[in-house]
Chain A
Amino acid sequence: MTSGIVSQLFQSALAVLAAPLLIGWVNMCRAWLQNRSAPSLLQPYRALHKLFHKDAAISRNTSWIFRFNPYVQFGCMWLAAGIVPVLATDLPLAPAADVVALVGVFAVARVFAALAAMDTGTAFGGLGARREMFIGALAEPAMLIVFFNLSLIAQSTSLNTIVETLAHGNFLIRPSFAFAGVAFYMVALAENARVPVDNPTTHLELTMIHEAMILEYSARHLALIEWAVAVKLVAYSALGIALFVPWGIAEAGNTAALPLALLALAGKLFVGGAVLATLETVLAKLRLFRAPEFVATAFLLAMLGVLLNLVLQR
């Protein structure tokens, strides 16, 4: 139990503090791939620090939701990062929220983000909210179905149990697994506002989604949101790692395995960030109305995975 609390606290703190590092790493890789000279790995920290220092300016139209939203974003992402077992599978917080609740956490964040965007009363805010919600509305079920697939394999929706089963059980690679993996990756791209669905580095009004929602934010609010975005990326990456490449994760009660697990995680994130940067460089952003097709494909793949799973089960 104590080991659980230790790994819980450690993991949560780590995910939040190290999140900008991952963003920095992805940006770095991207710059390299695009033949630019890369910013420092710590650049995101500097940006956040700068933003926190500024005085906040807020639109007169807004209500409390607008101001509350950054904290919700940050809190939700923190919680999400806290319940995904990446270092150890005996997180005491994990039973409080299973995979379905995890999706719920992301949904809460999304709904508040969209509401805050509409709260500004500007054309762009509404535009961003609309796009975010419709992409999300398609991505969320796809995500759930991916989880269902894994739940059917592990006979549980508890993240601890799923990861435990996948990492340590006598687990055979199944065809459904591949479908789920691809679907998950696609959904993760969409949910994290990455290319090909969105581009975190653009402010072109015809295409932007996430950025349109946070146009009115400044200073510490913007900083929290940016940070939350980073934590979200970490959470998703951790989730992907835990579900699809869980090898090396610490078993329940095995505190000694934590350093090794940490090392494994760092390595996987290192590779994952590089892959993400490569993909973002290679792929072009889709037209807005191609994006649903992209997410729908993910949905169908996930569904196919579930069906394969059920059909091949006996």
Chain B
Amino acid sequence: MQFLPMRLLPIDIAGLAVLFWLALGLLGLLASARPAFINRMLFPLSAAGSLVLAATGIAAMDDAATVMILPLGLPDLPFHLRLDALSGFFLFLLGAAGVGVSLYSAGYFRDTAGPTLGLLCLEYHVFIASMAVVMLADDAYLFMVAWETMALSSYFLVTTEHDQPQIRHAGFLYLLIAHVGAVAILLAFGVLQGGHGDYSFAALRAAHLTPGWASAAFVLALVGFGAKAGILPVHVWLPEAHPAAPSPVSALMSGVMLKTAIYGFVRVVFDLVHQLQWQWGVVVLIVATLTTLFGVLFALMQHDLKRLLAYHSVENIGIILIGLGLALIYAGSNHPVLAALAMIAGLYHTLNHAVFKGLLFLGAGSILHATGERDLGEMGGLARSMPYTAFFFLVGALSISALPPLNGFVSEWLTFQAALLSPALANGILRSLIPFAAAALALAGALTGMCFVKVYGVAFLGAPRSAHGLHAHDAGFWEKLGMGWLAALCVALGLAPVWLVERLEYVTERMVGARLGAQALKGGWLWLAPVAAERASYSPVIFLLVIAAVVTLTFLAVRRIYHGRLRLADPWDCGFPLLDARMQDTPAGFSQPIRHIFAPVYEMERHLPAATDPDPYFSLEIRDRFWRWLYRPVAAAAEFSARQVGRLQQGRIAVYLLYSFVTLLFVLLFVR
């Protein structure tokens, strides 16, 4: 910790960063009249705060946990803060993503009116500060306070443009599901507390639960945190809320806020409940697998860019949970070393997703800013008018598609490695269940690749489909800086996995009681070998170097032996002369084969034009089946119950007296 003066403990620095953020937020509210100050001063400062937090988090991972107790909170329960390896990792995640998003925000909101911006600045900083507190909290009360503050501040951020009804609807759905989830989490803490009114995590950890109660806590935690993370079937808020929010906020919500749910799940299940049972892992694995496939299949069908990215968040949460589910299964079957690998895979993907999804949302924001469009069908050819955005977006797209040597590949690779260790399990059913998850993951990865070819191809390549694209301008300096930071992280995390995996071992040591095996990571920083070098290894740096060398070599050889003469011409297109931009593939067209193959998954409403139609138009609407399966019935049941209860209040005083009378008689009977 030499780089810090005054010998502050990591937790002190983290606490100061949180305070710093809150101060920036308040300053923003006060400086509503001077938007330039907020943009040019506060947001870059906020990024600096994020950087400090990220550094603190990563530095704290290999130290012993540090604690802090604040004289706030409940009378018998002051706010406990604790920074251990797990918190450190997630703070790093928050800080790393926060740097990019804050830098980006410094430019993105330049056209926003002062009062809105001031409020937004406050909400933004309360949002990130509350996320940091969630990760630092060491008692159930502070955790819940920070958790709900996070939900509330992000709700206000989502509804920034609240004069549009669909945005209000999105905000409503979001906060409702978040709140119900929060109550479930709260009940999980209720299960864990020993009835002494002591809600510190130390006390919860010490509680001895019967397997039944432990399972109840697990289920409540899964539902509660799942609602925030967006697992099936409580994912519906995600594709509504993410598009509604301003893009930097979407980046934060998808990139970081969903991860707080992962953090909470790990904290509660692995750390607090900690009497792990493999059956829980099966539940998580099944849910995660379905979530993964569902997310990617619906993402493919979207033509609203931010909605599409939101569905990919659902998918990626599924991938993360596949890792964690495997960790549960292994840990519950007494294979802590394997559990450590699975957990590292899950956590690695958590960080990766934060980085590349943040980057992609920022890219989407730049497109939105430049063209005013979120609909892919109106884009095209943006790579020429906004080359920087296009490049950064490509990095993000390749990362999320799990292509080597970028970061998305590393975590999927680790997850596969963890899944391939299933023969170690004694239970035959489990052994054969895990490959299905791996297969689903493989399928999801390939489909993601397809989806991002669609996105990138339709948005950035080809010819502009509408006039917006012609007048598009590239992102400004701050935006480029923000996206550049995240893109660089995508590359760095892809190239130096060992650096992070070694730190993640501190987390698994605490959570599942083991590090990776003795033979793991023997090859130094260059070789990622999570079990042993003979078992599996991967070296992204060498991989990249070889590809780069081969490509350069080829390029030079071709130029040297032959020539580099080039001529620009109109596209040939098999000689068709009247080519125009509308003949390019549409987003819906691109994913049509998938829609065809996976037809049973979707609830489709198609309008096919007839031959005699004067204004032939093809329209297609794809809906989430869960609305029909789950949400509408629940809403109808609630409505029905409300109507029945409403009948109690039917206006006649005699009837009211009768209620009173009957109640009296009934209770008297009960006494007798």
- A positions within 8 Å CB-CB of B: 52-53, 55-63, 65, 71-72, 74-76, 78-79, 82, 93, 95-98, 100-101, 104-105, 107-108, 110-111, 114-115, 117-127, 129-131, 133-134, 136-141, 144-145, 148, 151-152, 155-158, 161, 203, 205, 215-216, 220, 224, 289, 292, 299, 303, 306-307, 310-311, 313-314
Encode B432-456 as 1/0 by CB contact (under 8 A) with A: 1001101100110111011011101
Collect the chain B residues with CB atoms within 8 Å of residue A216's CB: 571-573
Q: A72-B551, A292-B597 are in contact. Are A127 and B585 (CB under 8 A)?
A: yes
Q: Quick check: is B423 within 8 A (CB to CB) of the other chain? A: yes
Q: A72-B551, A121-B571 are in contact. Are A101 and B403 (CB under 8 A)?
A: no
- Tell me the chain B residues, 554-598 only, with Cβ under 8 Å from chain A: 554-555, 558, 561-563, 565-574, 576, 579, 581, 583-585, 589-594, 596-597
Asked if A137 and B543 sit within 8 Å, CB to CB, the answer is: no
Asked if A75 and B384 sit within 8 Å, CB to CB, the answer is: no
A82 to chain B, nearest CB (A): 7
Q: What DSSP secondary structure best describes chain B's contact surface?
A: helix
Asked if A120 and B534 sit within 8 Å, CB to CB, the answer is: no
- B positions within 8 Å CB-CB of A: 380-381, 383-384, 390, 394, 398, 401-404, 409, 412-413, 416-417, 419-420, 422-423, 428, 431-432, 435-436, 438-439, 442-443, 445-447, 449-450, 452-454, 456-458, 460-463, 527, 533-539, 542-543, 546-547, 550-551, 554-555, 558, 561-563, 565-574, 576, 579, 581, 583-585, 589-594, 596-597
B460 to chain A, nearest CB (A): 8
Collect the chain B residues with CB atoms within 8 Å of residue A76's CB: 547
Asked if A152 and B423 sit within 8 Å, CB to CB, the answer is: yes
B29 to chain A, nearest CB (A): 43
Return 19 A-B CB contacts under 8 Å, by A number: A58-B568, A59-B571, A78-B554, A100-B416, A101-B409, A104-B413, A107-B449, A108-B398, A111-B401, A120-B573, A121-B584, A126-B584, A130-B585, A139-B446, A140-B445, A141-B443, A148-B419, A158-B535, A224-B558
- Specify which of A93, A133, A313 is in contact with B546 (CB 8 Å cutoff): A93
Closest 8 interchain pairs by CB?
A: A126-B585, A118-B457, A121-B462, A141-B442, A59-B571, A121-B463, A75-B551, A137-B446
Asked if B568 and A60 sit within 8 Å, CB to CB, the answer is: yes
Asked if B547 and A306 sit within 8 Å, CB to CB, the answer is: no
Asked if B543 and A101 sit within 8 Å, CB to CB, the answer is: yes
Collect the chain B residues with CB atoms within 8 Å of residue A151's CB: 420
Q: A114-B457, A161-B534 are in contact. Are A130 and B554 (CB under 8 A)?
A: no
A47 to chain B, nearest CB (A): 14
Interchain CA distance A125-B458 in the complex, whole Å: 11
Q: Which residue of B lies closest to A144 (CB)?
A: B442
Q: Which residue of A lies closest to B569 (CB)?
A: A57
Q: A79-B550, A134-B450 are in contact. Are A98 and B536 (CB under 8 A)?
A: yes
B293 to chain A, nearest CB (A): 11
A231 to chain B, nearest CB (A): 11
- Contacts A105-B404, A114-B457 given; 18 further ones with Cβ under 8 A? A59-B568, A74-B550, A93-B546, A97-B404, A100-B412, A100-B413, A101-B543, A110-B449, A121-B461, A121-B581, A122-B583, A126-B589, A133-B449, A140-B445, A145-B442, A156-B536, A311-B428, A314-B428
- Specify which of B435, B460, B584 is in contact with A148 (CB 8 Å cutoff): B435
Collect the chain A residues with CB atoms within 8 Å of residue B539's CB: 95-97
Asked if B535 and A58 sit within 8 Å, CB to CB, the answer is: no
Asked if B572 and A104 sit within 8 Å, CB to CB, the answer is: no
Q: Which residue of A lies closest to B456 (CB)?
A: A115
A287 to chain B, nearest CB (A): 12
Collect the chain A residues with CB atoms within 8 Å of residue B442's CB: 140-141, 144-145
Asked if A129 and B463 sit within 8 Å, CB to CB, the answer is: no
Asked if B574 and A111 sit within 8 Å, CB to CB, the answer is: no
Interchain CA distance A57-B570 in the complex, whole Å: 9
- Specify which of A79, A130, A141, A306 is in contact with B446 (CB 8 Å cutoff): A141
Asked if B570 and A71 sit within 8 Å, CB to CB, the answer is: no
Q: A52-B561, A156-B536, A289-B596 are in contact. Are A60 and B570 (CB under 8 A)?
A: yes
Asked if B420 and A157 sit within 8 Å, CB to CB, the answer is: yes
Q: Which residue of B lies closest to A97 (CB)?
A: B543
Asked if B570 and A59 sit within 8 Å, CB to CB, the answer is: yes
Q: A65-B383, A118-B585 are in contact. Are A156 and B534 (CB under 8 A)?
A: yes
Asked if A130 and B590 sit within 8 Å, CB to CB, the answer is: yes
Asked if A97 and B565 sit within 8 Å, CB to CB, the answer is: no
Interchain CA distance A119-B459 in the complex, whole Å: 10
Q: A97-B538, A100-B416, A140-B442 are in contact. Are A122 and B592 (CB under 8 A)?
A: no
Asked if B438 and A148 sit within 8 Å, CB to CB, the answer is: yes
Collect the chain B residues with CB atoms within 8 Å of residue A120's CB: 462, 571, 573
Asked if B571 and A61 sit within 8 Å, CB to CB, the answer is: yes
Asked if A140 and B551 sit within 8 Å, CB to CB, the answer is: no
Asked if B453 and A115 sit within 8 Å, CB to CB, the answer is: yes
Collect the chain B residues with CB atoms within 8 Å of residue A58's CB: 566-569
Asked if B413 and A130 sit within 8 Å, CB to CB, the answer is: no
Collect the chain B residues with CB atoms within 8 Å of residue A145's CB: 435, 438-439, 442
Asked if A155 and B535 sit within 8 Å, CB to CB, the answer is: yes
Interchain CA distance A122-B439 in the complex, whole Å: 34
- Specify which of B463, B589, B597 is in contact with A130 (CB 8 Å cutoff): B589
B280 to chain A, nearest CB (A): 22
Collect the chain A residues with CB atoms within 8 Å of residue B446's CB: 107, 136-141
Asked if A137 and B443 sit within 8 Å, CB to CB, the answer is: yes
- Specify which of A95, A138, A205, A289 is in contact with B527 (CB 8 Å cutoff): A95
Q: Which residue of A lies closest to B531 (CB)?
A: A156
Asked if B535 and A310 sit within 8 Å, CB to CB, the answer is: no
Collect the chain A residues with CB atoms within 8 Å of residue B536's CB: 98, 100, 156-158
Collect the chain A residues with CB atoms within 8 Å of residue B594's CB: 134, 137
Asked if B584 and A95 sit within 8 Å, CB to CB, the answer is: no
A5 to chain B, nearest CB (A): 13
A181 to chain B, nearest CB (A): 18
Asked if A119 and B462 sit within 8 Å, CB to CB, the answer is: yes
Asked if A158 and B438 sit within 8 Å, CB to CB, the answer is: no
Q: A59-B570, A158-B536, A289-B596 are in contact. Are A307 and B432 (CB under 8 A)?
A: yes
- Specify which of A127, A134, A156 is in contact with B535 (CB 8 Å cutoff): A156
B529 to chain A, nearest CB (A): 8
Asked if B398 and A111 sit within 8 Å, CB to CB, the answer is: yes
